[in-house]
Structure 1
Amino acid sequence: MTEGVPLVIPEVNPHHMAHCKIGKGTIIANPNCSTIIALMAVTPLHKLATVKRMIVSTYQASSGAGASAMEELWEQTRDVVNGKPAAPKIFPVQYAFNLFSHNSDMDLDSGYNEEELKMVKETAKIWDTKDVKITATCIRVPVMRAHAESINLEFEKDITVQEANAALAGFPGVSVIDDRVNNRHPTPLDATNKEDVFVGRVRQDISQASKRGLDLFVCGDQIKKGAALNAVQVAEQLVKNSA
């Protein structure tokens, strides 16, 4: 969040690093994984109808907390299945067959944790706007790889499901899985070890009288696009800028 340091998702805001070149002492920051996954899905819709408000609930995999957290989930799952008590080490509560509030530091005044506040602050910086209202609830779930996010959006003008799906399908790095007939939509396993962010369950928000609201479900591998791949893409863009 340092002023003057670009926070970049190359598909979303490459113009923020247009002045950056190799040999210029440039620092370019990689956004938080949850923010990257959300904005890969929401940005094409934002370009189409301008988001006014975004409500995000995340379901975050153990790999987001590192290899030791993945090992803890595996060990606890094995122990519980075999009738043994789970032994929490990394997290303060049982992880296997459970979910809990994200383990980042909590702001005691607001009640938001650091992960949630990152999504709010980083989105405003990446989109270069203070007009979008954002709130988030981040939860750790017993999944090995790939985060999932349920996102509710309110727009400045009407947007249909058909328009949204077309915009998503045409956005680089996004794949749509939205098969209502067979109830087939993105899952963390779809996204595991994949470079794309997967979007589905795109539907009109029936709580709004107009067609200015959408709900969608998003899955992305937070080690791939949520971290390492995004950093590589930033480096590739930097090389292009320096050519």
Structure 2
Amino acid sequence: MGFKIAVAGATGNVGREMLNILEERGFPADEVVALASRRSVGQEASYGDKTLKVKALENYDFSDTDICLMSAGGGVSQEYSPRIGKQGCVVIDNSSAFRYDQDVPLIVPEVNPDAVEGFRKKNIIANPNCSTAQLVVALKPLHDAATIRRVIVSTYQSVSGAGKEGMDELFEQTRAVFVADPISTKKFTKRIAFNVIPHIDVFMDDGFTKEEWKMVAETKKMLDPKIKLTATCVRVPVFIGHAESVNIEFAKPITADEAREILREAPGCQVIDKREDGGYITPYESAGEDATYISRLREDSTIDNGLAMWVVSDNLRKGAALNTVQIAELLVAKGLIQPKRQAA
């Protein structure tokens, strides 16, 4: 007997990707249910060669559902995830609603798999921010080897991180440039076509944005609270794939060659680092792929024990949908969850 899985937010970019990945990876599900808001009821969502009719999240009974993959936004998650959890269904939430809750584990399976066992307090597990997820996959094996003291990261984040509206805006503005139409901005604070915007999420009192703060808080929670991190998060005119320029200071000596070998053996990482034209990965090449790619590894001569590297990943997959499904797989692999219908 397999599991019954619900995907909440099934009509969004990440929800659709969750359904694709569940089928691609052969997750042991006997039944998969697509959920969204009332206005989406009756729409269709693809799950392998099957077509699912979208049902309403608002009145859905989760009492016989094992896992809910939640990708319906922070406000919706805050309202529904605790209710769903109380019905005995484990929520794996892709929003920021519960990431900083001490009673909710924040998980990247390649980084802190053992922490998942804390889910029982609320029956909720949080998925990290897309920019953090790929960063910690690359940092974890290096931290284990040489202890990271400080990280400076600049992100180059695709418009899909802002949802379908962000992708639509880039497409419409790009078209407008070529046909000399007026350009309007809706989702972003400034024009995104042929431009970059150093502003993701709201500004905080210290001048950093909420996106930048998330990277700090989430890295500390998942990897090590002693790591000092500062981030500058930038939106770029790319449809899918986040890139990051990462500068790391270690407590112990580590060479670029040593780091390269460590990362080649690390789960979830793929090193593409040839010192020649095209010997690196770009966001375009990462789209549709599961790996976190590391390129441009080199030693930083301005500090002791310093390295610089370029990290790229598909933000809709490892940054969101894939990581969520991997958490569900982790629950099954560790025997932390059994199908309710089998138990009955």
Residues 1-243 of structure 1 aligned to structure 2 (within 5 Å): 1-20=100-119, 26-107=123-204, 109-127=205-223, 129-208=224-303, 210=304, 212-242=305-335
In 1: Cα distance, 2:198 partner to 2:243 partner: 14
Q: Does the 8 Å contact 1:178/1:201 carry over to 2?
A: yes
In 2: Cα distance, 1:167 partner to 1:85 partner: 50
Q: Which has the higher contact order (CA 8 A, sep 6+)?
A: 1
Higher Rg: 2
Q: Secondary structure at the match of 1:44?
A: helix
Q: Does the 8 Å contact 2:297/2:308 carry over to 1?
A: yes
In 1: Cα distance, 2:182 partner to 2:141 partner: 46
In 2: Cα distance, 1:228 partner to 1:137 partner: 24
Structure 2: gaps (5+ residues): 1-99, 337-344
AA aligned to 1:177 is I
The offset of 1:174, in angstroms, is 1.0
C-alpha root-mean-square deviation of aligned residues, in Å? 1.4
Q: Does the 8 Å contact 1:60/1:147 carry over to 2?
A: yes
In 2: Cα distance, 1:195 partner to 1:181 partner: 24
Compute the TM-score of the two structures, normalised by the length of structure 1.
0.94
The offset of 1:25, in angstroms, is 5.2
Structure 1: gaps (5+ residues): none
In 1: Cα distance, 2:180 partner to 2:274 partner: 38
Q: Does the 8 Å contact 2:272/2:279 carry over to 1?
A: yes
AA aligned to 2:102 is E
Count of matched residue positions in the alignment of Structure 1 and Structure 2:
237
AA aligned to 2:117 is A
The offset of 1:20, in angstroms, is 4.5
AA aligned to 1:110 is D
Compute the TM-score of the two structures, normalised by the length of structure 2.
0.67
Specify whether residues 3 and 19 from structure 1 end up closer, same or farther in structure 2 by C-alpha distance, changes over 3 A only. Answer: closer
In 2: Cα distance, 1:25 partner to 1:49 partner: 35
AA aligned to 1:130 is P
Q: Percent identity?
A: 46
Q: Secondary structure at the match of 2:125?
A: coil
Q: Secondary structure at the match of 1:236?
A: helix
In 2: Cα distance, 1:97 partner to 1:79 partner: 12
In 2: Cα distance, 1:104 partner to 1:224 partner: 20
Q: Does the 8 Å contact 1:57/1:149 carry over to 2?
A: yes
